Structure 1
Amino acid sequence: MKTLKFITAANCVLVVATPMIAHAQESTVKIGFAGPLTGQNANLGKDVERGARMAVDDLNANPPVIGGKKFKVVLNVEDDGGDPRQATQVAQRLVDAGVKGVVGHFNSGATIPASKIYFDNHIPEISQSSTNPKYTQQGFDTAFRLVANDGQLGSVLGKYAVQKLNAKTVAVIDDRTAYGQGIADEFLKSAEASGAKLVGRQYTTDKATDFRGVLTAVKGENPDVVFYGGMDAQGGPMLKQMQQLGMQSKFMGGDGICTGGLPSLAGSALQGRQVICAEAGGITQEYTAGMEDFKKRFKAKYGEDVVIYAPYAYDAVMILVDAMKHAGSSEPAKYLPYLQKTHYKGVIGETRFDSKGDLQNATLTLYTFNDGKRESLGVQH
């Protein structure tokens, strides 16, 4: 504190105590977050935003020390609507706001164009959920991801269709997004390599609600498996319409449909139909207890269950700050080398990045649905 003296009209000295400027200015570090907080995938976007906010709250409960100073972590949140054009605008706003790192974006179609802006401004970005291989194949040393990519997901799902579901014929539908088309292509490549025959390839959009046209075309081929490359917002209604059309095919998809929200979106259409999906991540036995604790804390904090990628967003924030602490600086140029060689053990397990920014030893988890609940079929590497 310091004091200021004022002489009043009555020649009395008035002493006023004021805070020292050094104490008034708290050191902060801004981390950006971007995802679809509105639109059809808002449930998924809000899930990861909550995971990121939970990490920030946990950090600020015991402020991190970076370069010998305590810092308050501030989360700058932006809604990209899952739209590529909006994502680039959001990315520029985060850059202009002075963020030192970014968690997001959610879907590959938004992440890939935004990543160029972060790279041009030397700001590290960790996507907790983008799976299109192109994201980390652009040569950007600022791009990282915490999940398996579509090549790994599609390969496992394609083999599973043939080897475990005995599929001889498959039909493929995708939503024409970078994510949906990418994972559908990888599934088809793997399924055909394993011996299955493609009997139909159809397309829709990530805004569609009526799939009867494409499903009627597929129904005529009577495939053993229908694979959908897209999100649960379309996957659920698609399952309902398959039921209405009397289709008997098994249904498969990637992490976009592999959510705790699919049962409510599909309703009774999940009854009696085998549905297999894969989540681009997986918790090994060593980290099961930590994940369960996270889910309990998340439910207590927000009153809702984890949808899918909140724990990954949580770890993404922690990994950025951990690299800053090791570097002794929140400046990207100084902490980026530490981020590239990170070895962090968090909620989702052990994180190490390869030279492209992909996760080393990435895991994925296969799931099915029974009695309205998602059930694990096991973690795979």
Structure 2
Amino acid sequence: MRTGMLTGLALGLGLAVAAPAHAQLKMAVAGPITGPNAAFGAQLKNGVEQAVEDINAAGGIMGQKIVLSIGDDASDPKQGVSLANKFASDGVKLVVGHFNSGVSIPASEVYQESGMVQITPASTNPKFTDRGMWNTFRTCGRDDQQGAVAGTYLSTHFKGKKVAVVHDKTPYGKGLADETQKTMNAKGLKEVVYEGVNTGEKDYSALVSKLKQANIDVIYFGGLHTEAGLIIRQMRDQGLKAPMMSGDGITDKEFVQIAGPGAEGTYMTFGPDARKNPEAKDAVAKFMAKKIDPEAYTLYSYASVQILKQAAEQAKSTDGKKIAEVMKSGKVFKTVIGDISYDKKGDITRPDYVMYVWKKGADGKIDYSGNEVGM
């Protein structure tokens, strides 16, 4: 899934057939194409590319073919802002991205100043849409919604047990862990360990020793699959069998490659599996024909482009503010992840989280697909 050949901040890809400049609409997708979160960057890129290909094949947006730029922010806020400025100077109108909340939030200010609509498939930190900006939208849910589901599950199924809350100190990871902690505390379950770790670390033996000493029964981790996988592997190596619970930041098969067999039994909050949505059938077939599994945020990214297309056509304009007005009007958009409508903040109006458990299937592979568990 990695695409390490993309080394520039933004690579213009001619996904549309040659056409006069006035008949082109510039769109961009931005995410971590390189670095430890490149698996998620690939999901965003794959989803947007397929949507653009399908829309262009059907005539584009109001007769304009989409020309797509791909930007690599490497999960770095400064690089994300630089990339946003590059898109602005290139005349990009619409942006799908970023992946990390810590990148989406500062980049959104550049997009707002430049009159660009930003729709993220993956950034869940509430601050992204809570600032009263006209241009910020997402196709995913929020950490306060996701944390409420996780905290409720912990307080119900691990009542009286010893819980550790660990996060990666990022706006996403700490935000999600704190929302989960808040909900479970309100429901009477208090953590025995609360700890922050640094992203990019390889040795978590000190953390694992602390968890073992506290005799924890379950660890809640707010963060991404790289750190989550390493923590699980090192927990198992040190004989700690407690399960981990985490959020949408681990929804990639690479999680299991990092964690190893100990990934089995991991709990995870994420939206309903979009691959099973009847509206996604044709798109899923196209991905599979290219040997791409449209897991996790792939279809959320595809849906982002669908929404932008429908909003522009209803607005009869590619002006960012006019598109945003349509998106916040309560209109229902038909997408591969189901019907989507927005509130005045730019958040989706439907609840979007369920609990999964990673299990070994008949093929011997550990996956979350089809393994929803009751609350």
Q: State the SS of the aligned residue for 2:137.
A: strand
- Deviation digits for residues 60-96 of structure 1 (CA, Å, limit 9, x no counterpart): 1111352xxx111011111001111111111111111
**Root-mean-square deviation over aligned CA pairs:** 2.0
Q: SS at the partner of 1:259?
A: coil
- Is the CA contact (8 Å cut-off) linking 1:55 and 1:317 kept in structure 2? yes
- The letter for the 2-side match of 1:39 is G
**Deviation for aligned residue 1:257:** 1.5
1:51 is the counterpart of 2:47? yes
Structure 1: distance between partners of 2:188 and 2:254? 33
Post-superposition shift, 1:238? Answer: 1.1
2:169 and 2:198 in contact (8 A); partners too: yes
> Of residues 327, 343, 354 in structure 1, which corresponds to 2:343?
354
Structure 1 residue 282 and structure 2 residue 272: aligned? yes
**Residue 352 (structure 2) aligns with:** 363
SS for the counterpart of 2:358 is strand
Residues 33 and 102 in structure 1, CA contact (< 8 A), matched pair in contact too: yes
**Cα displacement string for residues 296-341 of structure 1 (whole angstroms, at most 9, x for unaligned residues):** 321212x231231010110111111111111222122333211222
Distance 1:176 1:333, change over 3 A: same
Q: Structure 1 residues 379, 246: closer, same or farther in 2, change over 3 A?
A: closer
- TM-score (norm: length of structure 1): 0.87
Q: Structure 1 unaligned runs (5+)?
A: 1-22
Quick one: structure 1 residues 379 and 60, their matched pair in 2 at CA, closer, same or farther if it must change by over 3 Å?
Answer: farther
Q: CA deviation at 1:292?
A: 4.5
Displacement after TM superposition at 1:375 (Å): 3.9
In structure 2, the partner of 1:211 is: 204
Partner of 2:368: 374
**Alignment of 1:89 onto 2:82:** yes
Partner of 1:185: 178
Alignment of 1:169-318 (within 5 A): 169-271=162-264, 274-279=265-270, 281-282=271-272, 288-301=277-290, 303-318=291-306
SS in 2 for 1:256: helix
Q: Evaluate the alpha carbon distance shift between residue 190 and residue 241 of structure 1 in structure 2; reply closer, same or farther with a 3 A threshold.
A: same
What letter matches 2:25 in structure 1?
A: V
Q: Distance in 2 between the 1:46 and 1:32 partners?
A: 14
Query: 1:117: which partner in 2?
Result: 110
Which deviations, in whole Å up to 9, do the C-alpha atoms of 1:124-143 show, x marking residues without a partner? 11010100001001110100
**Superposition deviation, residue 214 in structure 1:** 1.2
Partner residue of 1:340 out of 328, 338, 347: 328
Secondary structure at the aligned position of 1:31 is classed as: strand
- The structure with the largest alpha-carbon Rg is 1
Q: Bigger CA drift: 196-205 or 162-171?
A: 162-171
Shift of 1:168: 2.4
Question: Cα 1:167–1:264, aligned 2, differ >3 Å: closer, same or farther?
Answer: farther
**Aligned residues between the structures:** 351
State the distance in 1 between where 2:221 and 2:124 align: 15
Task: Kindly indicate whether the alpha-carbon contact (under 8 Å) linking 2:274 and 2:299 is maintained by their aligned counterparts in 1.
Answer: no
Q: Greater strand percent: which structure?
A: 1
The yes-or-no answer on 1:329 pairing with 2:326 is: no
**AA aligned opposite 2:29:** F
- Counterpart secondary structure, 2:248: coil
SS in structure 2 at match of 1:77: strand
Letter of the 2:107 partner, please give it.
A
Asked if structure 1 preserves the Cα contact closer than 8 Å seen for 2:327 and 2:341, the reply is: no
Displacement after TM superposition at 1:26 (Å): 6.0
Deviation at 1:259, TM superposition (A): 2.8
